[in-house]
Amino acid sequence: MNLKNLLIRLLAILIVFIVILTLGEVLIRVYLHFNTAYDIEMTKYALNLKNDSDNKLIGHIHTPNKSMELMDVMVDINSDGLRDKEYPVSRSDKHRIIFLGDSLTFGWGVKEEETFATLIEEDLSSSSPTEVLNFGTGNYNTEQEVNLFIEKGLKYNPDKVVLFYFINDAEVTPEKSGLWFLGYSQFISFYWSRINSLLNNFLPSKSFKEYYESLYDENQQGWINARKAIIELRDICESKGIEFQVVLLPELHDVNNEIFANVYNNLALFLKNNNIDYLNLAKLFENHPNQIELWVSYDDAHPNNIAHKKIAESASKFISNKGKE
């Protein structure tokens, strides 16, 4: 085969590849116009509502003053990068609380007015004027949450800080992928996620239980970072006269807390040993007949509005100091 014929064949293959990719992109976008896919929505969130942070301990932050629909609900980011209404930095006579957390605190898949942050603010305000600033950010771990508070939260001079801790918050802060731009292709994002899921079904991998338990090995870097960050936050709050509390959020694949009991017990022991006031909600939905009824969607185990309401009811009593453990 001469060089000319080889080049013609390679060009033909390239053209076919481009046509297939283009057709696939069009078809998947038509499909997603009528259907919602968790992994695609998370990719849209990352590409459209996040920016890189100059602080490597934070990684990424919300882009101020941006809005978009995600998981069929509107997400509005205020001028300081919070999914919340605008709050002046200067204090009023209202009791001011800052909530730190990840996508659960952010309220992924739930209307802002139905998040536990908003519901708790409303409940506390019914007895005493209160404002809750929601610093929840998707894909954060504890190290990122604490450093975001140091960088952005201290200026608000809060009376109290509540850290909402989820079981995966001991993961190491990830580095941004060099192939992040592929996320702009919904065709690639959609099928890459499903190929990974398929491979996980056939290739040896850790179970849910093994993965989360391994995060809490004493020498696991993410858990080292998380503990250090929690102690740092405790000390900062103590030095500034800010009350500090931690709420352990439930894992909704395990509402009876059978799979992850050891993890939650170890977390509770760590907090207790370090004189940190905490509320353990691991069994909040114990014996719930169908855990998927608490999920945002069948493929997304973030808490939905029903779960947020229940979390708010329990956490509000604790935060108002009526129900300390």
CATH of the domain at 132: 3.40.50.1110
**Within a domain: 324:** no
User: Strand locations in 39-166, DSSP E?
Assistant: 50-52, 60-62, 67-70, 73-76, 95-100, 130-134, 160-165
| Strand-pair category, 277-280 with 243-248 | parallel
Are 46 and 24 members of one domain? no
Average pLDDT over residues 228-241: 98
Write the DSSP assignment of 312-324 as a string of letters: HHHHHHHHTTSS-
d(CA 186, CA 306): 30
pLDDT of residue 5: 75
**Residue 4 structural domain:** 1-35
Q: Give the model's confidence band at 321: pLDDT under 50 very low, under 70 low, under 90 confident, else very high.
A: confident
Cα 105 versus chain centre, distance = 7
Closest among 316, 304, 314, 320 to 243, alpha carbons compared: 320
Q: What is the pLDDT of residues 152-198, one digit of tens each?
A: 999 999 999 999 999 999 999 877 655 555 555 665 665 566 556 55
Instruction: Considering only CA atoms, give the Rg of the chain.
Output: 22
Q: Give the model's confidence band at 206: pLDDT under 50 very low, under 70 low, under 90 confident, else very high.
A: low
| Strand-pair category, 160-165 with 95-100 | parallel
Helix (H) or strand (E) holding 265: helix 261-273
Are 79 and 168 members of one domain? yes
Are 147 and 278 members of one domain? yes
Q: What is the pLDDT of residues 269-314, one digit of tens each?
A: 999 999 999 999 999 999 899 999 999 998 899 999 999 999 999 9
Q: What is the pLDDT of residues 30-69, one digit of tens each?
A: 666 677 777 888 889 998 999 999 999 999 999 999 999 9
Q: Which two tokens stand for residue 324?
A: 């300390």
Q: What is the pLDDT of residues 108-118, one digit of tens each?
A: 999 999 999 99
Are 133 and 72 members of one domain? yes
**Within a domain: 104:** yes
pLDDT of residue 1: 60
pLDDT of 263 > 90? The answer is: yes
Closest among 210, 211, 227 to 219, alpha carbons compared: 227
Closest among 205, 299, 306 to 250, alpha carbons compared: 306
pLDDT of 204 > 60? The answer is: no
Q: Which two tokens stand for residue 259?
A: 């799979």
To the question of pTM greater than 0.75 for the whole model, the response is yes
Average pLDDT over residues 238-256: 97
Amino acid at 281: L
Helix (H) or strand (E) holding 243: strand 243-248
Are 3 and 59 members of one domain? no
**Within a domain: 325:** no
Are 193 and 210 members of one domain? yes
Are 195 and 209 members of one domain? yes
pLDDT of residue 12: 81
The answer for residues whose C-beta is within 8 angstroms of residue 315's C-beta and 6 or more apart is 116, 120, 162, 247, 279, 281
**Within a domain: 146:** yes
Are 252 and 106 members of one domain? yes
Average pLDDT over residues 85-114: 97
CA 69, 180, 302, 33 torsion-angle sign: positive
Q: What is the pLDDT of residues 11-32, one digit of tens each?
A: 888 888 777 777 776 777 766 6
Are 93 and 170 members of one domain? yes
Are 57 and 29 members of one domain? no
Q: Mean pLDDT score of the chain, rounded to an integer? A: 88
Instruction: Report the percentage of the chain scoring pLDDT > 90.
Output: 70
pLDDT of residue 181: 54
Are 10 and 129 members of one domain? no
How many folded domains does the chain comprise? 2
pLDDT of residue 190: 58
**Within a domain: 273:** yes
Crossing angle (nearest 10°) for helices 261-273 and 208-215: 20
Are 72 and 174 members of one domain? yes
Closest among 199, 162, 46, 180 to 108, alpha carbons compared: 46
